[in-house]
Amino acid sequence: MCFLMKNAANLFLENQKGSVRLFFLSALVLAMSVGCAMAPRNSPGTSSSVKWETAIANYEAQDKTNAPASGCIVFTGSSYIRLWKNLVTDFPGLPVVNRGFGGCQLPDVSHYAGRIVIPYAPREVVIYAGGNDINAHKSPEAVFVDFVALMKKLRSALPRTQLIFISCPPSPKRWAQTDKIRELNALIASYCQSHEIAFVNTFNLMLGADGLPRPDIYGPDQLHMNDVGYALWADAVRPHLR
């Protein structure tokens, strides 16, 4: 049901422009939040993979001996978060906790939030995910629906927690997907603005004067960032942390 709704929606959206398209997308989010809630676990928009069970179990094992303090700041999401090795030194004096797991998509973040985010009762949650979703050939609209589902889940469980979302980045390796990334960022930014969620727009900061990704901020794989790139992200995120 949910899968068919997404396919139909995507076909419709491909032929719509302007305000009609935005109106339909708003209605789609509402309808799919109900329809997808009743979908089986292996349907699109949900996480059924056990790929990250070892990583999540390792985090839970750490928590048994060294649990994050209540009121910490949790960073979670895909490999851009997992590989943020200087997280503690980039935010000195702040109780930051890294709970990233590489390769994940937004439904996976939502699926595991009840194990590695919500139990900590964090004061802030910093999230980055979405790029892998686009790379998996999902439309920006479908990824946006999954983003909204994650935000609603976190807001319901953590009503006093500040939610912070980092924009999907450009990268040399996935430059062909840039238009879809821009579209997804625009949808997410608009939602964040109207729902009191901090949107950290790092996209333009990661581009050079030529409009292409800055070569100095990426590692050898041309996808993930080096320390220079993470310093850039830290400067952008820092003003949003209390």
Both 73 and 192 in one domain: the answer is: yes
Whichever domain contains 186, its CATH number is 3.40.50.1110
Q: What is the pLDDT along the chain (242 residues), one digit of tens a residue?
A: 444 444 444 544 445 554 445 444 555 545 444 444 443 333 445 555 688 999 999 999 999 999 999 999 999 999 999 999 999 999 999 999 999 999 999 999 999 999 999 999 999 999 999 999 999 999 999 999 999 999 999 999 999 999 999 999 999 999 999 999 999 999 999 999 999 999 999 999 999 999 999 999 999 999 999 999 999 999 999 999 98
Q: Is the Cα dihedral 173, 174, 179, 184 positive or negative?
A: negative
- Run of H or E residues at 28: helix 18-35
The count of domains in the chain is 2
Cα-based distances in Å from 74 to 68, 112, 134, 182, 228: 9, 13, 24, 26, 22
Both 132 and 13 in one domain: the answer is: no
Both 21 and 118 in one domain: the answer is: no
Q: Is the Cα dihedral 24, 129, 207, 189 positive or negative?
A: positive
- Partners of 73 in the beta sheet? 96, 124
The residue type found at 134 is I
For residue 99, what are the domain limits?
53-240
Both 25 and 119 in one domain: the answer is: no
Instruction: Compute φ and ψ for 65, nearest 5 degrees.
Output: -110, -25
Both 42 and 153 in one domain: the answer is: no
Strand order in the sheet with 162-166: 96-100, 73-77, 124-128, 162-166, 198-200
